[in-house]
């Protein structure tokens, strides 16, 4: 499998929405992706496997803080390193934009995602009770401190 991580382009949004609907109980709308794609404080990455969209990640980055907003890989291509490579790309972009901390929320029950984020160096830092709907569930807050001399993620 040939994997590429590139900036997400508008012409990939329909495919992005298909993956989003497949992976999320409350999917983002086309307009939400379009807004994020064109926002100067956002970055959107696309992962292609053998030329086909396999996943995407979105992030906002404002001053020293970055937040992973969305990360998804089509179910049939999971457990192949695509999400980890997307995460590496988002973290690199956050560093390039001067971020000192990257934050995210994850469903408490999403053990696979939590393991991915821990592998990338994120640590638990709090909880938002009842944050998710469909089904109602707590969000675990995680963060990664970025320092010039330290890189917890194996780039």
In the residue annotation, 100 being an active-site residue is answered as no
Residue 51 CA to residue 49 CA, distance in Å, equals 5
Residue 154 lies in a domain: no
**DSSP strand E in 50-100: where?**
52-62, 65-73
For the residues 143-150, what does the mean pLDDT come to?
A: 78
Residue 82 lies in a domain: yes
User: What is the span of the domain harbouring residue 91?
Assistant: 3-145
CATH code of residue 70: 3.40.630.30
In the residue annotation, 11 being an active-site residue is answered as no
Give me the catalytic one of 100, 105, 131, 137: 105
Residue 67 CA to residue 60 CA, distance in Å, equals 5
Residue 150 lies in a domain: no
Residue 151 lies in a domain: no
For the residues 142-151, what does the mean pLDDT come to?
A: 77
Residue 87 lies in a domain: yes
Give me the catalytic one of 43, 56, 117, 132: 117
Question: Residue holding tokens 């569930």?
Answer: 137
For residue 148, the model assigns a pLDDT of 65
Residues 77-92: tens digit of each pLDDT = 999 999 999 999 999 9
Q: Cα 85 vs. chain centroid, distance in angstroms?
A: 10
Residue 152 lies in a domain: no
| pLDDT at residue 115 is higher than 60 | yes
pTM: 0.90
Residue 42 CA to residue 84 CA, distance in Å, equals 19
For residue 1, the model assigns a pLDDT of 81
Burial (CB count <10 Å: 0-12, 13-18, 19+), residue 23: middle
Residues 6 or more apart from 123 whose CB is under 8 A from it? 142, 143, 144
Residues 39-78: tens digit of each pLDDT = 999 999 999 999 899 999 999 999 999 999 999 999 999 9
The domain tally of the chain equals: 1
Residue 21 lies in a domain: yes
Distance spanning both ends of the chain, measured CA to CA: 19
């Amino acid at each position: 499998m040939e994997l590429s991580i590139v900036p997400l382009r508008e012409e990939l949004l329909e495919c992005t929405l298909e993956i989003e609907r497949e992976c999320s109980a409350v999917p983002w709308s086309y307009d939400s992706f379009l807004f994020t794609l064109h926002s100067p404080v956002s970055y959107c990455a696309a992962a292609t496997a053998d030329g086909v969209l396999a996943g995407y990640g979105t992030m906002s980055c404002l001053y020293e803080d970055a937040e992973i907003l969305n990360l998804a890989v089509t179910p049939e291509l999971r457990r192949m390193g695509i999400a980890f490579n997307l995460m590496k790309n988002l973290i690199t972009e956050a560093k390039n934009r001067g971020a000192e901390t990257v934050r995210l929320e994850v469903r408490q029950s999403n053990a696979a995602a939590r393991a991915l984020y821990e592998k990338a160096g994120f640590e638990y830092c709090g909880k938002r009770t009842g944050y998710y709907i469909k089904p109602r569930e707590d969000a675990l807050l995680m963060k990664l401190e970025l320092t010039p001399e330290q890189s917890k993620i194996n780039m």
